[in-house]
Amino acid sequence: MLTVKDLVKTFPGSKGEKGRVRAVDGVTFEVEPGHLYTLLGPSGCGKTTTLRCVAGLEDPDTGVIKVGDTTMFSSNERTKVPANKRGLGMVFQSYAIWPHMNVFKNVSFPLEVADRKGRLGKSEIEQRVGRVLEVVQLDHLASRQATDLSGGQQQRLALARALVMEPPLLLLDEPLSNLDAQLREEMRFELKRLQREMGITAIYVTHDQVEALAMSNRIAVMNGGNIEQIGKPRDIYERPSSKFVAGFIGTTNFLEGRVGRREPGNVYVVSTPTGEIRTRSEADLPVGTDVILSIRPEHIGLAPADTGVPGPNTWRGRVETRAFLGESVDHLVHVGERRLQVRCPTTVSIAPGNDVLLEFPADLTSIIPADR
């Protein structure tokens, strides 16, 4: 549905800075129809800039942007479709609700400014707007002034305005970031439901990893103008391909080591200063490569030293502190020189000072080359 290839966008640097700011630095990705595709990354990594390039609000330096079969931008073919001819829907971070119009007028605007040829009749416009307002549950507020809406209602209004043209692609720039925590969670499910039921293809920009994991079909993790990794939420979480991705999404334990041996079935034996760990990886890493292991706290098994069975991938350690978090219990465990964070269900709670056995599952321990 959307193809972005080798997209580069630079801005002139401010006074005192040398050269240009490379806000987007060679980004390539593809979005399948019906998917909710998330651009995830820390502040300033170029998410908004990428989205604005797709919308036509920024002119990229180089690259190709295609929606369906239409080339929206291509630096080689010198093609550029202006923003108002792309027919995409966009929800801005600030919502950009027009304060001088009421709810109905805000939504009907895109239909009213359509080309004379494609413009709908008055009654059709009314029907269409009514339908969209119903979908976002604002139909009872149609004649209210837009500035008199609550935060959540404004957010839904912005969504309705973006949807009313029935765009092939919906662009969402941190649509939930202005809402308070509870409303944000509610709207997250609401948005996902709408997107799935209406079969909309959407690009979703956020720096909130929980949001990204909960809503997306695919996630592209961005850093410094580049995409670091693309994958399904679960893959990104369980098999991060770089130290940055592992650290940015969720909490994790890093262990430095070196590939010691390779065994059939893609099994690597990594030796670390604290001991050996066996993991599986699709990557092709020669023996002797410096690597980093990333292990999520909740993937480490924990048992009192006297009850557990020592085996492969099992280390011995001592609990230093523990913290009760409501849904889980966090333990900080000393292993040799290292401290590891281990998250257990509330049924497992071991007092500080006790010896424990730690077990690392081979499938959920990611192996990342040290230079990534």
Ligand X SMILES: Nc1ncnc2c1ncn2[C@@H]1O[C@H](COP(=O)(O)OP(=O)(O)OP(=O)(O)O)[C@@H](O)[C@H]1O
C-alpha pair distances (Å), 226 with each of 8, 47, 133, 259: 10, 10, 37, 28
Q: Are 178 and 156 in contact (CB under 8 A)?
A: no
Mask for 185-214, x = binds ligand X (CB under 6 A) = ----------------------x-------
Estimate to the nearest angstrom the gap between the alpha carbon of 86 and the chain centroid: 25
Of 26-34, 43-51, 292-300, 358-366: span binding ligand X (CB under 6 A):
43-51
Q: State the nearest-atom distance from the C-beta of 278 to ligand X, in Å.
A: 38
Q: Does 53 bind ligand X (CB under 6 A)?
A: no
> Over the range 176-207, which residues count as b (16 or more CB within 10 Å of their CB) and which as e?
beebeeebbeebbebbbebbeeeebbbbbbbb
- Name the minimum Å distance from CB 90 to other proteins: 4
CA distance 243 to 239: 11
Beta pairing partners, 304: 356
Instruction: Count residues near Mg ion (CB under 5 A).
Output: 1
Should residue 13 be labelled a site residue for other proteins when binding is judged by CB under 8 A? no
Query: Which residue of 6, 11, 33, 147 would you call a contact of ligand X, by CB under 6 A?
Result: 11
Interface residue with Mg ion among 27, 37, 38, 48 (CB under 5 A) is: 48
* Choices 47-55, 77-85, 211-219, 301-309; region in contact with Mg ion by CB under 5 A: 47-55
Which of these, 30, 21, 36, lies nearest to 54 by C-alpha position?
Answer: 30
Q: Is 19 in the site for ligand X (CB under 6 A)?
A: no
Which regions of 245-353 does DSSP assign to beta strands (E)?
253-263, 267-272, 275-280, 290-295, 301-304, 314-324, 328-335, 338-345
**Residues from 63 through 82 that contact other proteins (CB under 8 A):** 67-72, 78-82
Residues in the site for ligand X, rule: CB under 6 A?
A: 11, 21, 23, 41, 43-49, 207
Residues in the site for other proteins, rule: CB under 8 A?
A: 55-57, 67-72, 78-90, 92-94, 96, 98-100, 109-110, 113-115, 118, 145, 147-148, 158, 161-162, 165, 167-168, 171
